[in-house]
Amino acid sequence: MDDVKVVNYSQTGIAVEVSDPAIFFGAATLTLENGEVISGVIRHCRQKDGRYVLGIVYEMDIAALCESTK
């Protein structure tokens, strides 16, 4: 998806706003601006103002990723 807006994030997951709904427990891959790829699983999909908010739980240790990019 090209039209993705980050709503919230933490060390364990991220919430993104998208234009289309997604499948619960489906795989999700996010590519950051620096080229790093983060994989996760969609834990929820909620409609909000004609768009959808996806809650994605990371499948990897994001703290380790952040340390490696410093």
Going from N- to C-terminal start, the domains of the chain cover 5-68
pTM here is 0.80
Those residues whose C-beta lies under 8 Å from the C-beta of residue 6, and which sit 6 or more positions away, are 14, 15, 16, 17
Q: If phi over 0 gives left and psi between -120 and 50 gives alpha, with beta otherwise, what is residue 49?
A: left
Q: What is the CA radius of gyration of the chain?
A: 12
CA distance 3 to 38: 17
CA distance 32 to 51: 22
Per-residue pLDDT of the chain (70 residues; tens, 9 = 90+): 678 899 999 989 999 999 999 988 999 998 888 888 889 999 999 999 999 999 999 987 776 666 655 5
